[in-house]
Structure 1
C-alpha cells in the first residue's frame, strides 16, 4: 500500500532499468508506467533525465495530491529550494520541450501544479508555452501560484493578449499567481503584449526580475493598478531599464492614481540606466512602504514625480549598502544620494594622495572617515544642488563641497596627531594637480588621443610638475586653511587655472598643439558641438558602406576630416558659446554643427562620394535604409579586413558590393518611398521591408561566391559565408567613421 515515493539521483540522473548508456529506451517509460499504476500513491518526488521516460498513454490517471517532478538535466539553484518548500505540487522543466510531454501528464501534473519552473526551454517552445491561446486559457483556470523562468533566450513577453479572440480577452490571466521570478531572459521586453483583462495578476505578492538586458520598463500603468496585493519588488542587473512603471502611453483625460496598498519592500540593484520608479503624470501611493534599497543606481535622481500618501520608510539603503536613512522621505533620499555619491567620488580622488602618504596609518584614517561621513550624510544642503540647471555651476559646487570635506579630514587628522602641519603643502599640491587634470581633460583627449601624442604630453606635464611643486601660492593655501579669508577652494581653483595656462603655452612652444592658438576652452566647446554633428543624419552610415572596402578612399576622407577639424577648432563662434544665455545655447550649438555638416558634405561631394547640389530625396531614403542594414555589414566588414583572406577574393567581393550599391540607388521601391510625404505613417514600415529585401539580396549574391571563399587560405572547405557570418557576427564593425569613434572616446 505505497502512498509516498521519492526517486532521486545525483545530477538528476535516474538509473531506470540500470541502463549502461544515457540513451533512454522504451523500458524507461515502462518503468514509470508502473509508478502510475500504484493505486494508493498520493505523493511523488522524482527526477528524470528527459521526457521520454514518461509513457505516452496510461490506463488510469494517477491521483497525486502532492508531487515535485523534475525533468531534464540542470543545476539545482539554491534560491529555488525554498520555493518548493512553500508548496506541495511543483514541476520543473530543463532543456525539455512542452510538446514532448504526454497529454495525460499535462492533465495530471501541469494543470494541478502550484509552481512551474522552466530552465533553458527552446525558443520555439517558449512561444508555445506563453503565446498559444490554449495555454493562456489554462493559466486563467489553474492553481498556479509560483512561476519561475530562467535562461529562456527566446521569450520576449510573458503573455500575448493580442493573439486571443475577443471572448478570451475578457478572461483574467494568472489570477492565482502569487510569485513571479524571471532571470537571464536576454530578449525579454515586457510582461504582457497588449491590454491585460481585468483581474489578471490580482494576487501577485512577489515580483523578482534579474538580468533581463532588453527590458526598458517593467510595468504598464494599467498593469500596475491591478497589483493590489503586491508586497515586494526586486529588480537587479537589467542594463537598459529606465523606469519601473512606464509613462502613460495613452492620453487619458482623468489621471487615475496608481496605488500599491500592500507594497512593503522595494529593491533596485545594479541598474545603471534607471532614472526613476515612475515619472508619469498620475499620482502614485504606497501607504504600507517600509523598506527601500537602491544600490548602484547612479542615474536615479527621483523616486516618483507625484508621490502621495506614502509614509517615510523605516529604512532606506543606498550606495553599495553603506548609505542608510531612517524615516526619511523617499524622493528626498534619492536626490541626496544622487548628489552625495558624485561628490563622494570626487572626494575619494582628492583624498587619495593623503591616504597614500599615510598608508601606515590607514586603519586610523578609515575610522575617522567613517565618523565624518555620518556628519556629511546629515547635510541637508546637498539636496539643493539638484535644483541647479547650469552644469558648469553644478560641477563647481560639487568640487567645492568635495574640497571642503578634504579640508575637514586634514584638520581632523592634525587635531588627533595623525598628520603634521608641515606635511600639508605637499598634500595641497596633489589636490591642485587633481583639479588641473579635470581642467585639461579636453586638451589631453584632443592632442593625446586624436593625434596620438599622449606619451609626449605626459613627458611635458612631468617637466612642469617640478616647477609647480615650488609654487609660492601653495603656501597661501596652508595659511588660508587656518584663517578667515578667501576660501581655499577658490585659491586652489585660481592656481589650477594658472597652471592650465602654463601648460597650454608650453604645448604651443613645444609644437605639440596641432592647431596654433587653440585652448582648452575652445576644445571643450568643439567637442560639445561635435556631439551634435555626428547625430545629424545618416551620411556617416553611407560613408561607412563605401569606405569599408576602400582603404585609399577611407584615408582621403580621414585626411579631409582632420583639415576641417583644424578649421573648426578655431571657429570664432565657439568662444561666443561661453557668454551665450543658457536658454538658447543648445540651438546655437546646433546651428554651428549644421554649418560644419554642410562644409563636410561639400568635401565629400568633391571626392565624388555624393552627387553635387542638394541631396535627392531618394538618396536620403537610401541612407536611412542602409542604416537598418548595418548589422548585415558587421561580419562582411570584418571579413574584408582580415589579412588572411585571398586578395583576389577580396577584390571580387568589393566589386560585387559596389555593384549592389549602384543597383540600390535606383531601386524602384526606394524611389516610390521617397515620393511619400514625411508624415506618412507607412514610411518606417516600408523602409524595413526594403531593408529586409536588400538583406536577402546581399546574402544571395555572396553565396554565389562560395567557391571563391572555399579556395581562400582562411576558410575551411566546408565553411560558407554564412558560417563566417555566424562566427564573427559578435565583432564590433570597424567601418564606423573615424570621426564618430574618436568623439565617443573623448
Structure 2
C-alpha cells in the first residue's frame, strides 16, 4: 500500500466510500505496515499498532516517500492544526519510532519532547521543518531524553529559540552524531556548554542562514578547554551575527576593557576549543569575523584536509596573533593533511598569517593586500 493507495475512508463517514483503516485491526498476524494516509481524520483513535514490529506510516499531504534508514518510520505533514498527535495509536507509534519527520505542525506543544507522553526512547533520526509552534526541541527533563538520537535536522523553524535548555538530564543527546540547522532565525546558540560537552559522538555540525546566531556553544563558568573529540565536519554558512565559536550568555565573547580594546580575536581560539579529528571546515558569509584561527588552534588541526573560507567582509587574515602565546619566527604553523584550500571573495584579506602582516606593517607603515605575499614561512600547508 506504500505507493498505491491513500484515500482511506474517514471513520465517521457513513456509508464508507472506501476501505477504512480500522479494518487492519482484524489482521491479527499483521507485523509490517507501509501505509500513506492523506486525510488525518481517517486515522482511527483505536487502531491497533502495538503488534507492529516494522512500519512506515505517512500522514498528511506528502508527495513522495522520504529515504529513511530505520524500520519504524512516522512522517507527519499536517499543514496546520490536527488532533492526530493526541490519538493513542500515534502515541504508541512515537514511543517506538526510530525515524520521525514532522512538517507543518502548528498550534501544538512548544517543544518536540512534549509531543510524546512516553518519550522517544528508540528515536534515531529526527527531522522537523516549517513548524512555527516549536520553541525548543527539549525544554527540560528529569530523565534522559532522545538518548538514542543520532541525527537532528531542523529547517525553517521560525520561532525556535534553543535546541535545549541547560536543565536537561545527563544522557540526553548522548549518541548524537549529526546536527544540521537551517533558516531558524531566532536561535542564538546551538548548545549550552554544559550540554555540548556531553556530546562525545558528534561528527558533523552544519548551520545555515540563522540571522541571530551569535555562537555555536554558549559559555558557562567552566574556563577549561572545550573539545569535540569526534567532530569531522563543520559547515557554517550565512550567519551575519556570529563572532565567536564560543560565546557568552548575552553578547559575543569579546573583552571591552580599556587594555584589551583592539585585541585580535580569532573565531576559533585554541585556548578555548579543540577539534582533534576535524577534516572539513567550510565558512561562508560570516561577515563579523576578522580572523579565523589562533596559532594554538592551528596546531590542534592536524587532521584538517579541506578548508573553504568565502564571502567574509571583515576577514583580514586566516591566522591571527595570540596574546601571551606568540609564535616564534622560527616556528612553523602547519596543516599537515590539508589537500584543499579555497579562499574566495574576502575583500579585506591581507595575508594568511597576521603575525607576518604585523611585522611588515611596523617596518613599511602600510600593507596592501595586493602587494603582500599571502603565505609566509610561518605557515606550511
TM over 0.5: yes
2:292 maps to 1:300: no
CA offsets, 1:94-151, max 9 Å, x none?
12656334644134422111111111101x2132x5364xx56633x52011111100
2:40 is the counterpart of 1:51: yes
1:276, 1:304 within 8 Å by CA — same for their partners in 2?
A: no
1:121 equivalent to 2:105? Answer yes
Matched, 1:319 2:310: yes
**1:92 is matched with which residue?**
75
In structure 1, the residue corresponding to 2:164 is in which secondary structure? strand
Equivalent positions of 1:162-561 (< 5 A) are: 169-248=141-220, 252=221, 255-278=223-246, 283-303=272-292, 307=297, 309-319=300-310, 328=335, 341-343=346-348, 380=352, 384-385=356-357, 397=366, 400-402=368-370
Q: Which residue of 2 aligns with 1:145?
A: 124
Structure 1 residues 201 and 131 mapped into 2: Cα distance closer, same or farther (>3 Å)?
Answer: closer
- Answer whether contact 2:239 2:285 (CA < 8 A) is retained: yes
Residue number in structure 2 paired with 1:154:
133
TM-superposed CA distance for 1:196, in Å, is 1.7
Alignment of 1:6 with 2:2, yes or no, is yes
Match of 2:61 in 1: 73
- Asked if 2 retains the 8 angstrom alpha-carbon contact of 1:276 and 1:302, the reply is no
Q: Deviations over 1:416-440 (max 9, x none)?
A: xxxxxxxxxxxxxxxxxxxxxxxxx
Larger Rg: 1
Asked whether the equivalents of residues 124 and 148 of structure 2 are also in contact (C-alpha less than 8 Å), the reply is yes
d(CA) in 2 for partners of 1:101, 1:136: 8
| Shift in Å, 1:383 | 6.0
User: In 2, Cα distance between the equivalents of 1:211 and 1:221?
Assistant: 22
Compute the displacement of 1:201 (Å).
0.4
| Cα RMSD (Å) | 3.9
Deviation at 1:381, TM superposition (A): 5.3
CA distance, structure 1, for counterparts of residue 182 and residue 205 of structure 2:
11
Aligned CA distance change for structure 1 residues 144 and 131 (closer, same or farther; 3 Å): closer
Q: 1:329/1:303 Cα in 2 relative to 1: closer, same or farther (>3 Å)?
A: farther
CA–CA distance in 2 between the matches of 1:384 and 1:28?
79
**Partner SS state of residue 370, structure 2:** helix
Q: Which residue in 2 is equivalent to 1:130?
A: 112
SS at match of 1:267: strand
CA distance in 2, matches of 1:383, 1:272: 26
- The alpha-carbon deviation at position 298 of structure 1 amounts to 2.9
Pairs aligned (count): 326
> Equivalent residues in 2 for 1:669-688 (5 A)?
none
Contact 2:85–2:91 (8 Å) recurs in 1:
no
CA drift at 1:237: 1.2
Deviation for aligned residue 1:229: 0.3
CA distance in 1: counterparts of 2:45 and 2:127, whole angstroms: 26
Q: Quote the residue 1:738 is aligned against.
A: none
Q: 1:333-380: CA deviations, max 9, x gaps? A: 99x969x81247xxxxxxxxxxxxxxxxxxxxxxxxxxxxxxx9xx64
Contact 1:54 1:102 (C-alpha < 8 Å) held by counterparts: no
For 1:304 and 1:195, locate their aligned partners in 2 and report how far apart those are by CA, in whole Å. Answer: 32
Match for 2:29 among 20, 36, 40?
Answer: 40
CA distance in 2, matches of 1:386, 1:292: 26
TM-score normalized by structure 1? 0.39
**Which consecutive unaligned segments of at least 5 residues does structure 1 have?**
162-168, 345-375, 406-746
2:91 and 2:118 in contact (8 A); partners too: no
Q: 1:47 to 1:137 in 2, by over 3 A?
A: closer
Q: 1:136 to 1:245 in 2, by over 3 A?
A: farther
Change (3 A) 1:101 1:197: closer
1:387–1:173 Cα change, 3 Å: farther
